Amino acid sequence: MRVLVLTEKEKEAKPFVDAMKAKGIKANSLQLVKISLVSKHKNTLIKSVDENIPKYDAVFLQARTNLAPFIEPLVDALRDKNVYCNAQPGSYYLAVNEPYKFVNLAVNKIPTPRTLTSGSGKHIEKVSKKVSYPLVAKSFLEKDVQQSTIVNSDTELENFVKSIKTKIDGFVLREFIDECVISCAVIGDKVFAIDRRSGNACVADLSKGRSYKPTEKERDIVIAATKACGLDIARVDLVKGLVIAVDPRIPVESFNKICSVEIETHIANFFVDKITEVGAKIRPSDELRDLVGKLHKTVLKGFLK
């Protein structure tokens, strides 16, 4: 089994590589900046000075969503070369595009707070009558959030729309639920959770939360949300059993500390199972190496020097 760990920084990859090697995986790491994609006719070639990426059985990818314009063609090329990746084509475009992501979750019957989208400020004010305040109001330029606030009345929403002086491509209104967030690390069918609560207060810092055992329903929801977004490994945030965020990257240190687990080991186990399921690649070089190893134990070993 061969797995290549792709991260933005070299030090981020080491714990994953070490965990995979402990499971008998031949693992290496590579920084994303060392990869280039070359389009040639209908094919995309993956180029790297340090590694022959298509030789690997699988790639474990951890990257920010704003790298989607590079990650998506990379994931496509990996699929074409029959290299498993924990992110499927389209998953990063979904992750970085919040309006599209929530439409996708709704289509897949994943419970979310009621969400309305529109390209017009006037129209968003009209459709706001279909949901109750308070609301999270966001404006977008392409996929990027430009402004975000909580509005509690028609007047506040009108003022929010009027305050926008720059070019805007769309608006999102989402029902605001004033409850603490449950952040979940999803690895295949395993779920580890942190309650973003400290005493009676909700905390923004994940590392200040406390370990939480999700209900079976919550567990099913976050696994379904992860799969609906084209991912096998993700962080999913819940509020009262409703999905409010899905991100391909897991903040490993916080989950390890709060939940007293080794996320890296669970990811290594997942890759062992996944490669076993889809089948590891067998190459002539592997077969030759195995044959040489066997011959070294016979009377023919002298001829191999």
User: Which tens digit of pLDDT belongs to each residue from 128-160?
Assistant: 777 778 888 888 877 677 788 888 888 888 888
Give percent of the chain above pLDDT 70.
Answer: 88
- Residue 293 scores a pLDDT above 60: no
Element (H, E) at 286: helix 284-295
Res 42: pLDDT? 67
Res 12: pLDDT? 94
CB 264 within 8 A of CB 19: yes
The candidate with the shortest Cα–Cα distance to 226, out of 262, 171, 270, 256, is: 270
Res 139: pLDDT? 80
**Best-predicted range by mean pLDDT (155-159, 197-201, 246-250):** 246-250
Burial 238-249 (b: 16+ CB within 10 A, else e): bbeebbbbbbbb
Average pLDDT score, the chain? 85
- Residue 14 scores a pLDDT above 70: yes
Res 284: pLDDT? 42
Order of strands, edge to edge, in the sheet holding 182-187? 210-212, 190-195, 182-187, 233-239, 242-247
Strand-pair category, 26-31 with 182-187: unpaired
SS3 call for 131? coil
- Residue 41 scores a pLDDT above 70: no
pLDDT band of 295, cuts 50, 70, 90: very low
- Residue 49 scores a pLDDT above 70: no
CA atoms within 13 A on the CB side of 27: 26
pLDDT band of 57, cuts 50, 70, 90: very high
Res 45: pLDDT? 74
Res 44: pLDDT? 73
Q: Which residue has the higher pLDDT, 260 or 282?
A: 260
pLDDT (average), residues 240-267: 96
SS3 call for 86? coil
Q: What is the pLDDT of residues 66-122, one digit of tens each?
A: 899 999 999 998 998 899 999 999 999 999 888 889 889 999 999 999 887 776 666
Res 190: pLDDT? 97
Question: Would you say the pTM of this structure is higher than 0.85?
Answer: no
How many Cβ atoms sit within 10 Å of the Cβ of residue 166?
8
